[in-house]
Structure formats: C-alpha cells, structure tokens
Amino acid sequence: MANIKDIAARAGVSIATVSRALRQPDIVKAKTAKKIEEAIAALNYKPNMLAASLRRQRADAVIVAVPNIYNPFTSSFVQGIENVARDNGIKVLLGLTEGRRDLLDRHYEMISGKQADGLILLDINRPTVIEMRKPGDPPLPIVIACEYEDGIDLPRVRIDDIEAAATAAGHIAGLGHGKIAIISGPTTQRMSRDRQRGFRLGLRRSGVSIDETLIAHGDFTVESGAHAAARLLDSGKSFTAILCENDEMAVGAIHVIASRGLRVPDDISIIGMDNLRFAEFANPGLTTIALPTTAIGEQAMRLMLDFDFDAESATREVILPHELIVRDSTAAPKA
C-alpha cells in the first residue's frame, strides 16, 4: 500500500507538505495541493489512521457500550450519538455487553489501548476501572446514559423516571381505575426503584391507594412480564389495570391476558414505558411513556465532546423530558 512517502515522492514535495495538504488544506499553495491530489488519486492512497492516531494521541472514536441491540430503545439512542459524532468527525463503535461486566471491561480496553477516546455507557454495569481510580487521578472519559447512581463522578444524561412513571400512573388513575396492579423490574436497579416510586407517587396524587399484594416482579424482559401477569391473574385478586415498568413486560402481560380469554382494555388496561417500536403494533396498540431516546444519545455525545480532563469534578447531569402516548390498551374500567 502506498504511504505518505510515496505520495511525497511522486508529487515532488516533502511528506510534511502532504500531511498538511490532507489535514489543513488551506495552508498549502493551490498548485502544490493539486500535484498532491493527483499523486493520491494515481496511487490510490489511503491514510493510515493507526499511525495518525498514534502520533496525535487521539483516535477520534468513541465506543458505545450497550447490553443488547435488539432493544429498539438502544437503536435510536445510538442514532442520536451518531448524529452529533458525525458532525464532529468522530467514529462511533458499538460494543455489546450482554449485561456482563467482563465484556464491558474488554470494551474499556479499547480506551486504555488508545483505540478509542471515550466510552458512552447505556448499561447498569460499570467497568472495573471506575473502582480502581484513586481520588487524585484524572477523570475517566466515560458518559453514563439513563441508568445512574450517586457517588460516581461522571457526567450523565437521563430522564426523570419518577415523574415519567407518575405520569403513567396518573393517566390510569384519571381513567377511573381503583384496583391497580404493578409489574415492577428488579428492585436492585435504580431505574426500577424510581419507576415504582413514580407509580406510587402518581397514584397518591390522584388519591388512589395501593394494594401491596398487587405488585409482581419481572426483569424487564417480555418473558418475565408474561410470568408476572400470570401470577397476578392466578392470585385471584381483582384488578382492572396493570402499570408495567417497561413496554417489553407490558407486551408479555398482554399476551398472557389475551391467551386467557380476557380482553385489553375492556377487562384490564395496560400501560408500559419506553415506547418501543413494537408498542404501536401490539394488539391492542400499547399506551406508554415515550422517552426522548435520540435526544438522549445526542446529549450523551455532547457531554463526551465537552469532557474536560482538567476539571476537578466530571459530574454533570442533564435531564430530558418524557411524553405520554395514549393508544388502545387503556380505557376506563367497565361498570
């Protein structure tokens, strides 16, 4: 493969000039630039980015770590990241964690290995390196999206899960439901705790009281939503609506309810959260809370670009707005 030296030789200039023609075209004479251009075309030269990154001490790439990619949420989130990355000449690399910490650590290695400059994290896990960091050390180039916790000195962008869940609960209560079940996520997760807290808050605001025995637990997957709904139905307790902490579990719940011959929303109203792409095409269309996924991605990338290694604290927090989307899975209770 042709390198910068070959181009320089062919164009009759020094390699420094070739490099400048590529990086700062405005400071080389038009005539010289043309000769170089021709040489590049003739030899089909492609700059070696490894060498460039090595010398410049930056890769102009970020790695986005996500637990899985089948989640449509992930999709538009990454979309947002790409939008602003592209405008800034930054490459976006996706890394899958499957919720495993060792895989996340492997992705972080791309940063210590200098192949990427920063990590945007959409995962409940944190790389080991965060714990290794001593108080005086420079901040780690990591931005956290959605999931968050206190006591970690990193920038983050998220929604207000509590208010979002309260909005969902308020919608259900507003329709007149009084006996309301909840399908919650794992309480080990901050997001789940917040959403459950939000459900309670929203119901309380509407003067609806909560039956603690009508709370079932899942793990945010369709399957777990189905199981949780089955348990609620099997319990024999009566209820006319289910608040689900995410759409996946809501879809599972609808499936089970329908397969038992009950009807949504006539017999039971269902509301989810996240507004997955499939939510609209569920049967019936799922009422849910939409998150500004693309905006979250864009904001996360901006936080990454703004990253200041000299600041004594890296903590910054951006909270973006959510929105209630009413479809056909919720209605006033019968009679």
Partner DNA sequence: CCTCAAAATGATAACGTTTTCATTTTGAGG
Partner DNA sequence: CCTCAAAATGAAAACGTTATCATTTTGAGG
**Contact region for a copy of itself (CB under 8 A) — 8-16, 33-41, 227-235, 250-258?**
250-258
Do 88 and 305 meet the contact criterion of CB atoms below 8 Å apart?
yes
- The yes or no reply on residue 114 touching a copy of itself (CB under 8 A) is yes
Taking CB under 7 A as the rule, which mask of x and - marks residues 48-77 in contact with DNA? x--xx-xxxx--------------------
Question: Quick one: tokens of 325?
Answer: 């989307």
- The yes or no reply on residue 107 touching DNA (CB under 7 A) is no
Applying the rule CB under 7 A, the residues between 5 and 24 that interact with DNA are: 5, 12-17, 19-20, 22-23
Do 140 and 172 meet the contact criterion of CB atoms below 8 Å apart?
no
Residue 115 interaction partner, one of a copy of itself, DNA, none, beta carbon < 5-8 Å per kind: a copy of itself
> How many C-beta atoms lie closer than 10 Å to residue 289's C-beta?
26
- The yes or no reply on residue 201 touching a copy of itself (CB under 8 A) is no
Considering only 59, 146, 241, 242, the residue that binds a copy of itself (CB under 8 A) is 59
Applying the rule CB under 8 A, the residues between 6 and 25 that interact with a copy of itself are: none
Residue 20 interaction partner, one of a copy of itself, DNA, none, beta carbon < 5-8 Å per kind: DNA
> How many C-beta atoms lie closer than 10 Å to residue 186's C-beta?
15
- For residue 96, the number of C-alpha atoms closer than 13 Å in the C-beta half-sphere is 6
Considering only 9, 37, 43, 47, the residue that binds DNA (CB under 7 A) is 47
- The yes or no reply on residue 47 touching a copy of itself (CB under 8 A) is yes
Residue 12 interaction partner, one of a copy of itself, DNA, none, beta carbon < 5-8 Å per kind: DNA
- The yes or no reply on residue 309 touching a copy of itself (CB under 8 A) is no
Residue 74 interaction partner, one of a copy of itself, DNA, none, beta carbon < 5-8 Å per kind: a copy of itself
Considering only 22, 28, 62, 78, the residue that binds a copy of itself (CB under 8 A) is 78
- Residue ranges binding DNA (CB under 7 A): 1, 3-5, 12-17, 19-20, 22-23, 27-29, 31-32, 45-48, 51-52, 54-57
